[in-house]
């Protein structure tokens, strides 16, 4: 019983670490207008701020060396927490835009290292029949950060300015680095235990296979299409409708709570692959419709509601795809795919930030033309369910061959 309590304590700690890690890239999007205004830079550079962070996170994910030693992994998490908090603290005192971008790059580097190490550590601490649930919980920190972290940062920005947001986050990460060593259970080995019955994608993802490539493309297009819109949506609301931080905080709160509830419902239920495919398809259609309406309407409330539902739909779709892929692998494959998954996700976010910046065209009326952005994003978003179907078909065939030839 004591071991179970220690394991649950560690899982909760890992979830909290991931929660504060997720806040940093998320808060940049709504804070970008204030940051760019204070640093005297064009609003069109909003995507560049996120892109530099995710480039660093991508590099961090690639160079991260995952080990099976519990003590080493725990020390690495503490180190990355300290380094991340240091970068955030330095960022809060930055007054030059290019120095700010350099610090974003370094923060992304340490954040990528932290994300991969923390997720691998959580999976190693999870019992086999609870891996899918725990992965869904840790990934659901994304909407939870939207509901709590982003509104908090926007409130701080309204009263104290954006540098205070980085100071507060640095303080929280520093406190976590002190509290994390208290969670020290022995790792429960997944190798000697039976695999979970909920993991219905028990297939090898060899490199260069169609199955592996389709899994990678499914995740990449899901994240890329989401962040093409998500990077510019709040900026558009603040520029076109002069939306206040308080109003935007409310929209983030509602969307975060909605996505968090949706993910927890999904975590407690067991869906067949066909139902998962239908859910992914329906969420994709809703994302495209909401993007078209949200960027075209001249009514602020309708644009705000579209933003809320888009965040719920897009984050739910991405987290479901992530969870289905991770939970369906063996213990050895998970360690490899966790690193690949983080790299792909950060690369897609970085590319989305850069591309969204290029697709937003300034008009003569001191506004932006978002039509090219919405068109390209719709094409990317609609490709995701079709690539997912290819993955399902190929994995089904491979799974049948494994059963037949043992």
Alpha helices, H only, 126-232: 131-139, 141-144, 150-160, 162-179, 210-230
Instruction: Work out the pLDDT band at 3, boundaries 50, 70, 90.
Output: very low
Euclidean distance between CA atoms 333 and 246, whole angstroms:
44
CA quadruple 245, 24, 131, 352: dihedral, nearest 10: 90
Domain count, the chain: 2
Question: How far from 383 is each of 106, 387, 402, CA to CA, in Å?
Answer: 33, 6, 29
Residue 40 in tokens: 């005297």
- Is 194 domain-assigned? no
Domain boundary among 122, 154, 183: 183
Instruction: Work out the pLDDT band at 310, boundaries 50, 70, 90.
Output: very high
**DSSP, residue by residue, 11-80:** HHHHHHHHHHHHHHHHHHHHHHHHHHHHTT--GGGHHHHHHHHHHHHHHHHHH----S-HHHHHHHHHHH
CATH of the domain at 53: 1.20.1250.20
CB 36 within 8 A of CB 46: yes
Indicate whether 113 and 221 sit together in one domain: no
- Other Cβ atoms closer than 10 A to 146: 27
Euclidean distance between CA atoms 228 and 232, whole angstroms:
7
CB 297 within 8 A of CB 102: no
- Lookup result for tokens 């700690």: 13
Is the pLDDT assigned to residue 254 strictly greater than 80? yes
Please give the pLDDT value at position 88: 92
Indicate whether 222 and 367 sit together in one domain: yes
SS3 state of residue 227? helix
Indicate whether 222 and 314 sit together in one domain: yes
- Is 75 domain-assigned? yes
Indicate whether 281 and 313 sit together in one domain: yes
Indicate whether 161 and 296 sit together in one domain: no
> What phi-psi label fits residue 289: left (phi over 0), alpha (psi between -120 and 50 degrees) or beta?
alpha
The mean pLDDT of 290-309, rounded to a whole number, is 91
Give the residue numbers spanning the domain of 254: 199-405
CB 291 within 8 A of CB 229: yes
Task: Say how many Å lie between the first and final Cα of the chain, rounded.
Answer: 37
Instruction: Work out the pLDDT band at 271, boundaries 50, 70, 90.
Output: low
Is the pLDDT assigned to residue 201 strictly greater than 70? no
Is the pLDDT assigned to residue 159 strictly greater than 70? yes
- Is 285 domain-assigned? yes
Residue 406 in tokens: 């043992």
- Is 193 domain-assigned? no
Q: How do residues 202-218 score in pLDDT, each as one tens digit?
A: 444 555 477 777 878 88
Q: How do residues 124-146 score in pLDDT, each as one tens digit?
A: 777 767 776 777 777 777 777 87
């Amino acid at each position: 019983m004591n071991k179970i309590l220690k394991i649950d304590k560690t899982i909760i700690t890992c979830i909290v670490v991931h929660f504060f890690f997720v806040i940093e890239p998320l808060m940049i999007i709504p804070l970008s207008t204030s940051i760019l205004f204070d640093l005297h830079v064009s609003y069109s550079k909003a995507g560049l701020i996120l892109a530099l962070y995710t480039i660093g996170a991508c590099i961090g994910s690639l160079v991260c060396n995952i080990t099976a030693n519990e003590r080493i992994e725990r020390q690495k998490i503490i180190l990355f927490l300290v380094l991340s908090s240091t970068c955030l603290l330095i960022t809060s005192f930055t007054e030059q835009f290019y120095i700010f971008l350099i610090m974003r790059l370094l923060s992304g580097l340490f954040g990528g290292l932290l994300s991969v190490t923390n997720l691998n550590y959580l999976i190693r601490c999870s019992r086999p029949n609870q891996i899918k649930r725990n992965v869904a919980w840790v990934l659901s920190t994304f909407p939870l950060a939207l509901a709590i972290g982003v509104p908090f940062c926007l409130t701080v920005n309204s009263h104290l300015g954006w540098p205070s947001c980085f100071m507060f986050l640095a303080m929280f990460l520093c406190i976590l680095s002190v509290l994390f060593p208290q969670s020290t259970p022995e790792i429960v080995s997944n190798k000697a235990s039976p695999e979970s019955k909920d993991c219905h994608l028990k297939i090898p993802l060899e490199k260069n296979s169609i199955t592996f490539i389709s899994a990678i493309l499914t995740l990449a297009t899901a994240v890329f299409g989401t962040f093409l819109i998500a990077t510019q949506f709040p900026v558009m609301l603040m520029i076109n409708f002069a939306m206040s931080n308080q109003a935007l905080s409310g929209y983030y709160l509602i969307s975060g709570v909605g996505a968090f509830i949706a993910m927890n419902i999904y975590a407690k239920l067991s869906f067949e692959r066909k139902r998962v495919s239908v859910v992914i398809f329906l969420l994709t259609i809703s994302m495209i419709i909401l993007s078209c309406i949200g960027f075209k309407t001249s009514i602020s409330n309708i644009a705000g509601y579209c933003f809320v539902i888009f965040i719920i739909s897009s984050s739910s779709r991405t987290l479901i795809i992530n969870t289905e892929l991770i939970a369906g692998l063996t213990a050895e494959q998970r360690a490899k795919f966790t690193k690949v998954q983080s790299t792909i996700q950060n690369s897609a976010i970085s590319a989305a930030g850069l591309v969204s910046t290029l697709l937003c065209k300034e008009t003569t009326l001191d506004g932006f033309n978002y039509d090219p952005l919405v068109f390209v994003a719709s094409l990317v978003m609609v490709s995701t369910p079709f690539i997912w179907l290819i993955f399902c078909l190929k994995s089904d065939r491979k799974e049948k061959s494994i059963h037949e030839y043992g």
